[in-house]
Each structure stands twice: as C-alpha cells, then as structure tokens.
Chain A
C-alpha cells in the first residue's frame, strides 16, 4: 500500500471535486471554486473542476462561467447515480494520471463517503470539515484549518510529504465564485474504463424529506431555542417570535438531542453553520460547537436566565431574564412597531 517516496514537484494545479444535485450545480461547488481560485492564484497554478455523472454535459459546461481554467467531466452510464466505489475508482484513476497538487471537496454526504477512501487509496492526508484554507507563503503548502475538541481548539494541519493535499470544506463559510459571461476554459470529457460493474451496494430509490427543507443556511433571521426552554412545547413560543419577524426556527444540539425538535433545525458546527443578519438565541447557554456555528451572524441576541451563560460573551445584545416573559414582550413590541409603521402609511 505504501508508495515509494513521492516527488512532490510532479504535482500541480488545484482541483475542486464538484457536485450536481438533481442535475444542478450544488452551492458548495461554487464556494469551493472561489476558494480554489484564491489558492491557485497564490501558487500561480490552474483551477480545475472535476464532475462525475452521466448525460449532464450542458449543465457541466456552465461551470466555465465561474472563471475556472478547465472542467474535467468524468462521464459513464453506471455513474449516473452516486455509488461510493464507482466514484472513488473513477476519481482515483484521474488523480493518479494527472497528479493534482491540491484536491478540495465540500463537506457533504458524497465527500464523506469518497474523500477518505481516496486518501487511503492514494496514501495521503485528508483534513475534513475545514473552516479555512490557505497557502503557506514560504513553501506553498496547503494550510488546512479546522475546529477540534467540540470547537475549543483551532488546528491547522499540513501534508508535507504526500500528494495530493486533500481537504473537505464546510459549506457556507466562503462566498460562491462570481458568475462571468466571458469564459476562457474548456470542458474535457473523460470516459473512464470501469472495471467493476457490480459495486455490491445497489440504489433502490430516493426517499424524499417528509416536509419542506429547513433552509437555515440562507435564512436572514433565525430564532433558536435550547435546553433553557425546559420543555418541547417551548418551541411554540420560539416559532411565534420567528413568525413575527419572518424568520426561521433553529435549535441547539441539546434541544435536538432531547427530542424536542427535528435535527434539521440544529444550528452549530454539528448542525448547520448559519450567517443570518439577526440571530436570536433563547435559552441557549452557548456551547462552543454552537458558538462556532453562529460566529458569522451580523447581530447576535442572547436571552438567558443565567447571567454567566457563555453566550453572553459573544452576543451583541444580551437580556438576562426568563424567556417566557421576555419573548412575549418582544413579540408585543415588534407588533406595536409594525402597527405604528402602518398607521403612518398615507
């Protein structure tokens, strides 16, 4: 398994492993292109997007509008639906042949399946769930920064002797690459030789989510509840405040683990990373994994009984008090304000 010493000079270019979701380019792919281009500029190398699929050439071509130098489209009938071993094998062969210096993934279900396998096959280092990627200006190595120990520790890793340097990036931390009418790159279609048609795991069907997706990642206003609600019915009050503000309901890990609310509402490093304009944390003490998931909110409001709750150290405005008194008072004040607004309307 162990390869003989790798000549790192043979490796060049920054690869982004893109994803299509139901035929559309996934948002994280565009975010990765943005990061990939920044890294490639520092190294003076090309940014290349790799996409695996079947019958999607038109959509794949649109990636050129985001300023990439090349799109490598691996196309094969049996890669129409995602399968772990097929995708791994196809990308592995291309990496071995073309030797990219850096390979980036979004921290998505697909990448969680294939990136570790690729790293093991290539005998190289993968740092997953990064929050920041940069280049060491002294020697051009990829610096991969992530949180550890429940968010308490920020660690930066390198992969000094092995190639490619691999990383998965948490979605919604970086902005997407800009769309540009002018294109300069091209699409190269790769028809891989798939040796094994039987990958043992057979796709039967997709089971759609029962209700509509809770889109925390793009929400402008989020009102979240935590253990301080005391009981599941507390989320009714949270929803009332969210509805009054036109926002979305979020929750802490503790509230989700207590079974009070569906896990899709979970905000934090272990749930969804959010960056709303307004984040209102009600009865959330502020574990580090929660704090790191709301860090980029423009304005954080904390309501908590405990004046020493850590959330008060990172909020913009804090109210010490019983949320069952404070939230109804807030709703009343907001309604009053809106009423005044309408009253003044000619």
Chain B
C-alpha cells in the first residue's frame, strides 16, 4: 500500500434543518457545516491501513474556500495531506461534473493504491460519485464495504447488500466505498490538531483550480451538468391529527384501542 486517497465532502448538518411551519421556509440559522459523517468511516479505514502498512493518506475535497475546514479536520485525525479543489467554474456541478473534477484531481495526484469514498452524502445522498470516479478512471470498485483484510497484494472484502453479504477478492488499484458498520471513526489527537492547525498546518494543504487540472470549464459547473433542477418545494404534509385526551395512560390507551377497533385496524 503506497498512497490512499480519501474523497470527503463538507455538508450542512441536515438533521438540524427544519421547516418554519408558518412560512414553509428552511430554518438555516445555526446550521453548521460539517464533514459528511459517512466520509469519516472512509477516512478511518484509510487511517487503519496507514497505521498497519505505513501508507500515505491524502484527503481531497471539491468545494468553496471554507471547505478547507474538513481537510484540516481530517489531518487532525491523522491524514497526511489535504487537497482543496476550488474554482468558480465548478459551482452548480451535478454529480457527474463533480466526479469528472475529482477524477481529474486523482489522476494528477496519481500513484494510489486505494481510493476511498463514503457511502453517500447526507445532503445530496446520490451515492453516485464513488462509482462515477471509478468509471472515469477505468478502475474496478466495490461499494458498501463492511470489512477489509489485506493479504499481500490481494484484498479480501466483505460487501453488504440487501440480501446478505458477499465475500470478494480483489487487487489494487481499486475504489471502495464504506458502510457505517466498518469501523468507529477516531477523534482528532492533540498531535493531529497541532499538525493541522499549528504553524505549519497550511503547508499540508494544497489548492487546485480547473486550470491546474486542465478542465474545460464547459464540461463542469452548471453548463456542463447533464442534470438540471426543474422544480423544488418544501416537503410538508397536511393531515388532521387527533390527540387522545385522558387523565391516565390507562384511560388514553382504552380510548385509542376502541377507536382502532372501530376502524378495523385491530
């Protein structure tokens, strides 16, 4: 194992996003940007391999300048270097355009054994970028990996599916996406925090633009994205809820069971 590249994404903490009932707009106040939780499993798996085989771990992300925060967080957890891919021309990219940019950056970094991606992102949740990077780099892939054993040049991988798991054998280079079962991501260490945020922290971060990657601006961003937004709206449901009133649990339970019985549900 030489070099492991981990693709990570900065996302809004969606679980905290709610809807202002009266206006039907998104509550955005106090919503923080975080490292996509699924990506932490991908990073952890890379760090486990680094600990065993002394591999180099490079984290990459495409995003606005503040996305550097997730790279620093990854370095504080144990990654060696971070690469921010940032260009105005990339904004509005759909999954395919994003995959093209990431694939170009990975090609430039080169010399990798494994590329890790998280299972999906909590904001978009398309779970497409991993397989698309693999396709664009003409690499094999295994998604939803829940166990990896490295045996010499071979990898023994357990892949999770709806109807059981598959034991697979493969070799590097390969792209893998991880499940949340695979490991428990570590916390940053004092040494890591110093490495990321200390005096020389910025030396561990490099920034690549579209020009650095020889990307045709017409192939990325809004213009280069095959998928366009047609319409969007807030999800809401209008339903009349009947609250069961009563003094004690027993009384409420009795009223509810009678109602359900009348409606033939039980």
Q: Which of B57-114 contact A (CB under 8 A)?
A: 94-96, 99-100
Q: For the complex, is B209 an interface residue (Cβ under 8 Å from A)?
A: no
State the majority secondary structure of interface residues on A.
mixed
Q: For the complex, is A337 an interface residue (Cβ under 8 Å from B)?
A: yes
Q: For the complex, is B143 an interface residue (Cβ under 8 Å from A)?
A: yes
A-B contacts besides A263-B181, A326-B249, 15 pairs, CB < 8 Å: A21-B163, A109-B144, A117-B134, A120-B96, A155-B231, A157-B229, A206-B167, A299-B260, A299-B263, A313-B21, A313-B241, A315-B241, A316-B241, A321-B252, A333-B257
How distant is B88 from chain A, measured CB to nearest CB, in Å? 20
Question: A318 to B241, alpha carbons, bound, how many Å?
Answer: 7
How distant is A6 from chain B, measured CB to nearest CB, in Å? 10
Q: For the complex, is B170 an interface residue (Cβ under 8 Å from A)?
A: yes
Q: For the complex, is A179 an interface residue (Cβ under 8 Å from B)?
A: no
Question: Can you name the residue of chain A whose Cβ is closest to the Cβ of B159?
Answer: A109
Q: Which of A2, A109, A129, A313 contacts B126 (CB 8 A)?
A: A129
Q: Which of B11-19, B45-53, B187-195, B197-205 contacts A (4 or more CB under 8 A)?
A: B11-19
Question: Can you name the residue of chain B whose Cβ is closest to the Cβ of A299?
Answer: B265
What are 10 residue pairs bridging A and B, where the CB atoms are less than 8 Å apart in the complex? A117-B134, A126-B96, A127-B227, A149-B17, A152-B19, A160-B228, A314-B241, A319-B253, A326-B252, A329-B252
Question: Can you name the residue of chain A whose Cβ is closest to the Cβ of B157?
Answer: A201
Q: Which of B144, B225, B243, B249 contacts A318 (CB 8 A)?
A: B243
A121-B135, A203-B166, A337-B261 given; A157·B237 CB < 8 A: no
Q: What residues of B have a CB within 8 angstroms of the CB of A114 in the complex?
A: 131
Q: Which of A120-154 contact B (CB under 8 A)?
A: 120-121, 123-129, 136, 143, 147-154
A201-B170, A204-B167, A299-B260 given; A150·B15 CB < 8 A: yes
Q: Which of A155-187 contact B (CB under 8 A)?
A: 155-162
Q: For the complex, is B41 an interface residue (Cβ under 8 Å from A)?
A: no
Q: Which of A197-218 contact B (CB under 8 A)?
A: 199-209, 213
Question: A318 to B246, alpha carbons, bound, how many Å?
Answer: 12
Q: For the complex, is B32 an interface residue (Cβ under 8 Å from A)?
A: no
Give per-residue flags for B229-266: 1 if the beta carbon is below 8 A from chain A beta carbons, else 0.
11111110101011110001110111011011101011
A148-B123, A319-B256 given; A156·B174 CB < 8 A: no
Binding site for A on B (CB under 8 A): 12, 14-15, 17-19, 21, 26, 94-96, 99-100, 122-132, 134-136, 140-144, 156, 158, 161-171, 174, 180-181, 216, 219, 225-235, 237, 239, 241-244, 248-250, 252-254, 256-257, 259-261, 263, 265-266
Q: For the complex, is A40 an interface residue (Cβ under 8 Å from B)?
A: no
> Is B142 a contact partner of A318 (Cβ separation < 8 A)?
no
Binding site for B on A (CB under 8 A): 1-2, 21-22, 84-85, 88, 108-109, 112-117, 119-121, 123-129, 136, 143, 147-162, 199-209, 213, 245, 257, 263, 277-278, 287-288, 291-292, 295, 298-299, 301-302, 310, 312-322, 325-326, 328-330, 332-334, 337
A109-B162, A205-B167, A277-B265 given; A325·B249 CB < 8 A: yes
> Is A291 a contact partner of B131 (Cβ separation < 8 A)?
no
